[in-house]
Amino acid sequence: MFSPFLAIAPWIRINLPPCHIDVPYSTEEFSSLSLDGAYDFKANKKLGSGASGSVFLATHKMTQNRVAVKRFLCNYNSVKDFRRELASLRVLRGHPNIVNLIDSFGGKRPALVMEVANHGDLESYLEDHGPLTEDAAKYIMLQLLNAIQACHDKNIMHRDIKLGNVLVSAIDGVRLTVQLADFGFSAKSKHRLQRYCGTKGYMAPEIRANKFYDHSIDIWSLGITMHALLTGKVPSNGKLTIDRLSPMLQKYPNKRLTAKQLLGHFWFMDHSTLTQFVKRLIDGINGYYDEICGLCGTYKIHCEVFVEKKP
């Protein structure tokens, strides 16, 4: 029987495959308006840049909403990256921990319009604030695992998970709400791939060795990201100082835990961390006490502390 609660908050069941719709992995028609006709770039503020293009701050002319516009270079590889990112973001649209696609534009300089992150990326945040506490790191990792599980449930490999590709959308004390971004290297495949791509320091051993690889490369990159969150730096020469990373940073891919398995790992699923995570997911949603308690009961959480019982 279809739950009305899931209709409002389809991502709440973090222990189930999160993507609730099956959108074909293909592109659609682009916006009928031109990019400059729809958005104002007077501020001319660059938010970031990469091999495929640059991201600029812009304002929608009608709504005055601020957005991030990723403008791609006019070359073969950049256009391929544009197509990959557009297709992946359309499939994953609506996930709270994946950057939201708003619009897209073709032509000689293709562009993607996305929601803007109010607090930059994790790399910049760590430069300003230093390493995080374990509780703060857990909160971020739960969100990223939720995002990666959504990708892998749709057979999408991100292939470039790193601090710079995780956006910070909100800050509540030491708890950061984050979104996975930059799907330019992403690929949808049920089979192993061999393209050499990613960022040095975050690449899984099989990529560095030019071997075939599968979705587990994202788990390795996530483990490196977690190491950086806790220590403030990416490990050099494969030297790891944190034993808790071992389920993610196994040399052999078949020994790495999946995102779903990691979501149930005891280190991530302690009472306080998960309580805060679920609270954030259901913030503002009332009247579905039974369904929420069903989820909370799975992890032995007393959700009465933050959910008002319906009349």
Beta-bridge mates of residue 56 = 46, 69
Whole-number Cα distances in Å, 91 to 63, 95, 239: 25, 10, 36
Are 186 and 208 in contact by the 8 Å Cβ rule? The answer is no
Question: Is 119 exposed, middle or buried, given 0-12, 13-18 or 19+ CB atoms closer than 10 A?
Answer: middle
Residue of 22, 36, 40, 160 marked catalytic: 160
Integer Cα distance of 108 and 216 in angstroms: 35
Q: Determine whether 283 is an active site residue.
A: no
Cα–Cα nearest to 206, from 165, 162, 254: 254
Q: What is the pTM of this model?
A: 0.77
243-292, pLDDT tens digit by residue?
A: 667 889 999 999 999 999 998 887 776 655 556 555 555 554 444 444 45
Helix (H, G, I), strand (E, B) or coil at 121: strand
pLDDT tens across the length of the chain (311 residues)? 444 434 444 443 433 333 433 333 343 444 557 898 899 997 778 998 888 899 999 999 999 999 999 999 989 999 999 999 999 999 999 999 999 999 999 888 899 999 999 899 999 999 999 999 988 999 999 999 999 999 999 999 999 999 999 999 999 888 899 999 999 999 999 899 999 999 999 999 999 999 999 999 999 999 999 999 999 988 865 555 556 678 899 999 999 999 999 988 877 766 555 565 555 555 544 444 444 555 555 444 544 444 444 44
Are 203 and 210 in contact by the 8 Å Cβ rule? The answer is no
Integer Cα distance of 129 and 232 in angstroms: 9
Residue 12, by phi and psi: left (phi above 0), alpha (psi -120 to 50) or beta? Answer: alpha
Integer Cα distance of 94 and 155 in angstroms: 17
Q: Phi first, then psi: what are they for 93, rounded to 5°? A: -55, 135
The proportion of the chain whose per-residue pLDDT surpasses 90, expressed as a percent, equals: 57
Which residues contribute to the annotated binding site? 70, 115-117, 182
179-207, pLDDT tens digit by residue?
A: 999 999 999 998 999 999 999 999 999 99
Domains of the chain, earliest start first: 35-115 (3.30.200.20), 122-263 (1.10.510.10), 271-305 (no CATH)
DSSP 12-71: --TTS----S---SS--PPPSS-HHHHEE-TT--EEEE-SSEEEEEEEETTT--EEEEEE
Which residues contribute to the annotated binding site for ATP? 70, 115-117, 182
